[in-house]
Structure 1
Amino acid sequence: MRVVVADDTLLTRAGIVTLLRQAGIEVVGEAADAAELLEQVGRHRPDVALVDIRMPPTHTDEGLVAAREIRATHPEVSVLVLSQYVEPAYALQLLEDHPERVGYLLKDRVFDIATVVDALRRICDDENVIDPTIVSQLLRRQRTTDPLATLTTREREVLGLLAEGMSNKALAARLCVAERTVEAHVTQIFLKLDLPESTDLHRRVVAVLTFLRNG
């Protein structure tokens, strides 16, 4: 796997690069800002761009804007965005435009390199990955009008794990149930959210977007 790493803080970037290389990941480029990131991606065409959301000059959402541009102009390049803060709206923006091959993790996860490597591999396999902390926060929200209100507690749990990017097999292992049981729950979620017949991947993405908006 070939990766470009973008973070404006030199020590943080160097630490991420070191951890990735120790895990057997090939780091082919580094960037300190969004412009350099786009140049590095265009030059190296990596498998994944690992991007900090807050970069110069304003340190707001330059990384997110660059991530969306990468997915639009280099659809073969996956993007894993890192954020210092829990910002569900940013995760939603990323998924809405280019739902496949993207991930959003809290920056603290880089210290658990196994989690980062797992996320990198999953998004390279056309999955999406959302940090469990964001999913947990969304599950605690209470709304007056809730499109998810018809879901059972177990179905909401399954949808939350889908939002993290888990496959049916991984879900079954997490919940200690048979894979066909998970398939039944997913089918019920699609029916209750009134998702039209389409590819399973597309309906999963739409279900996750519904969860992020209303979870």
Structure 2
Amino acid sequence: MMTNLFSVFDPSSSLMNISLNWLSTLIGLLMIPSMYWFMPSRYHIMWNSILNTLHNEFKTLLGPSAYNGSTLIFISLFSMILFNNFMGLFPYIFTSSSHLTLTLTLALPLWISFMIYGWLNNTNHMFAHLVPQGTPAILMPFMVCIETISNMIRPGTLAVRLTANMIAGHLLMTLLGNTGSSLSSLMIGILLITQILLLMLESAVAIIQSYVFAVLSTLYSSEIN
């Protein structure tokens, strides 16, 4: 039963034995260049205002010591995750953000690069982070162990949080949808309303999770300066 349940997330689409599963992550490239030769539409104006708001917020989180343009990588990360989350809400489109293959690919290189930069350039600062300010001397060895473990699992928590949230809503919608063939007309109407509400919830989750991923990545980056 569990194998069949999770099989909705298995890669299955192909063309001439060439896998098309991750092609959904590239569909956005067909829409992005339009802003360079069309007059700005309401969509572009709205999207630019969102990106400007994110830029100002990430700049505040990174602090005055951050390099110019360092917010661009986190804005791009937010945009990519948001797009992939929304693509997964369409029928018959492979939900790439529900796989650890994608989420770990985003989280792990970021964390490794932060750690390498921090330990090479701000070694004393990184050591100071292992012992929070005001910690009693007797608890310092334990705090070093706890902070080290919490630092080591950061890429895993980033990746698993995004994957689990994407899988949970999709599984619930799949489970409810599979019961439709055995329900009466009244119950099917209730099921449709429930599915629409769940779809609205999943749309909110798609936005929130991409925002959380980008903000946490920004906070991890701010700690190394």
Q: Normalised by the size of structure 1, how large is the TM-score?
A: 0.24
Q: Whose relative contact order is higher, 1 or 2, with alpha carbons under 8 Å and at least 6 apart? A: 2
Q: Larger helix proportion, structure 1 or 2?
A: 2
